[in-house]
Amino acid sequence: MAFSGTLVTRGSAKGVVIGIGESTEVGRISGMLEHVEELTTPLLQQMDRFGRWLTGVILLVAGLILLLGSWWQHMPFNELFIAVVGFSVAAIPEGLPAVLTITLAVGVQAMARRQAIIRRLPAIEAIGSVSVICTDKTGTLTRNEMAVTSVVVAGETYEVKGRGYSPVGQVFHDGAPLDSSGDNMPSPLAEAARTALLCNDSQLRKKEGDWQVEGDPMEGALIAFAGRVGLDLEGERAHWSRSDAIPFDSGHRFMATLNHDHEEHARIFVKGAPEQVLGMCDRERGEGDRTLSLDADYWWEQAEEMTSHGQRVLALAERPVEASHVVLEHHDVEDGLIFQGLVGLSDPPRREAIDAVAECRRAGIRVKMITGDHAGTAKAIAAQVGLENSADVITGAELEKLSDEELKRAVLSTDIFARSSPEHKLHLVEALQSQGHSVAMTGDGVNDTPALKRADAGIAMGQKGSEAAKEVSDLVLADDNFASIVAAVREGRTVYDNIKKVISWTLPTNAGEALTIIVALLAGMTLPVTPIQILWINLVTATSLGLALAFEPTEKTAMQRPPRSRDDPLLSHGWLLYIAVVGLLFVVAVFGVYWFAIERGHSVESARTMAMNTLVVLEIFQLFFIRNIQGSSLDWAALKATRPVWLAVGGVVVAQLAMTYLPFMQVIFATEPLSLGDGGLILAIGLLSYAVLEVYKLAWNRLAAR
């Protein structure tokens, strides 16, 4: 069977089409995508609930104002309608949607600087709420820079050292270096290196002083190994010309080449998985040119030992054939090969990935590795990067045998999934989500698309990822680095904190404005602030002050808190009490200033100007208070604030001065100029409100600590 999208490497054939469209393997994956439910981000769910709740409250209160105003106060409908409009303008946070969008956009910009490209705006907050990160191993947790570090041939173990993919390095035996330029290099080792070089489709190129691989990184590491052993890379390839090859395939798990030299000798060189190559051999290479009976048990022990150190193990074999042999078939390598030895390749963990995993653990985020590598290799790498449970592994074959309930239990305790296929990722995501977890999933292939779409945060690889994976993902890693995922989580939490600050600043100020209208109506008084003045405060002043909170830096405790639940409310009961306290404080201050101005003989317009400016000053001090809601706002770091905060405050002060003193603004908003003494009184009231809120915060935090 040949699937659509298969590349033919050699030969010719005729085929019968038995399935098209949805009946193909690619069509099956497309069908899986159609049935995968894409979850709404926690923020959108919370904002939807919050919007419904706020709308209901405002409509209910507006209705009550109409009833009380007409039945109790017997107000004329025109005045009552204007009052209701004023209340609605005061209560509805008109600038909130714009500020929230800008806050998300600021986070997108910050993530882009961290090599994480957001494809959907709400996803920036979703990545900040994840409780589990399912990640690939190669290239994400590791450097994707393969290097041969150990070789076992003819019963001896050798250590290979070198830098990057440079073919220059050193070989050690029992801690002593071998001379690769003389006769000190054992012939079994040199023969194994020749097989690694010739059974190879990649090239090493030196670019700008650095050796780089053109082809597969693993094959590049084998070429570098051959150079470090002392082989002349170009000379060997010129001497042993290739006449045919069997390319590597995951089905037969080996690669073989047929090479001829100038002296009319021919040899078959093979490299592949140890379990596959051992079954194709009946002899092994000994010292010198001797061959011995194959000791499979010994080689299995050596392979397990290398795997336990996190190495990827390859087996090498060869077989002399007649010079007339020019075509290589599968039956030529099925048996009769001479086993040469094992090479262990290491792909060391990224240093930044180790630090990032540790940061995830502090933040209460569980990291799970999903890899196609051997279980032993996966365990070793997991231990090196510091996964929480690096002792237990579930393979893909074991995964398929588990029932749904068994999978749900296993996925919570197990952090390593080895020999896994991309199809397994979807099952793991669904199992974790069924346990209430918010899941981030990495992927790069077409087969990964269902899992990426289903995950709360789908993360595609920017360097090795397919276009299909990028298309369905929420986030693309430009550097394929796990540390960039953790940086994105940190930015996501920062965005959520800033959104919460914006809402926590907006609602109390709007509540204060709305309560001012309600109290005036219930008391049968003249409105201390007109509807158009409140509209000015909400649209111009409040929006610019709220926008400053979008640029707040990451809090020190951002990655020391556990992930929030999808069901957590946007505002808790403590916040509702805080909104009530601030609203009451605003009402007392605004009415106090208004009555004081009237008693001093000010006109209604002048008293309203003082009341309106008092509202704005209270909102400015509220901004400084809300920036550091957890700790004291009286230290220098909190008072110093950020540049956007001071720009916003400066802009608001200039706007209020213009509204108060410019003649054309006075005509539009019915304001009058204030004296220096009036301004000092307003500023003093702002400072007093700040002190009251600090006392409230201290009392609340002590109560919460108990």
Count of CB atoms within 10 A of residue 323's CB?
12
CA distance 499 to 237: 62
Pairing assessment for the beta strands 169-173 and 176-177 based on DSSP bridges: antiparallel
Contact in structure between 229 and 221 (CB atoms under 8 Å): no
Q: Which one of 48, 136, 210, 567 is the catalytic residue?
A: 136
What 3 state SS string does 316-334 have? EEEEEECCCCCCCCHHHCC
Contact in structure between 338 and 283 (CB atoms under 8 Å): yes
Residue 324 identity: S
CA distance 378 to 346: 12
Name residues whose C-beta falls within 8 Å of residue 232's C-beta, 6 or more positions apart in sequence.
none
The DSSP symbol for 568 reads -
Secondary structure class of 314 (helix, strand, coil)? strand
Question: And the tokens for 351?
Answer: 């240093």
Residue 286 identity: G
Count of CB atoms within 10 A of residue 615's CB?
27
Secondary structure class of 194 (helix, strand, coil)? helix
- Is 249 noted as a catalytic residue in this protein? no
Phi-psi region of 650 (alpha: psi -120 to 50; beta: other; left: phi over 0): alpha
CA distance 628 to 500: 12
Q: What backbone torsions phi and psi does residue 313 show, to the nearest 5 degrees? A: -105, 130
Longest CA–CA span in the chain (Å) reads: 117
Name residues whose C-beta falls within 8 Å of residue 116's C-beta, 6 or more positions apart in sequence.
475, 476, 477, 478, 484, 485, 487, 488, 491
CA distance 659 to 643: 24
CA distance 691 to 585: 12
Separation in Å, CA 257 to CA 204, 219, 260, 268, 280: 19, 14, 10, 6, 15
Contact in structure between 519 and 587 (CB atoms under 8 Å): yes
**Residues with active-site annotation:** 136
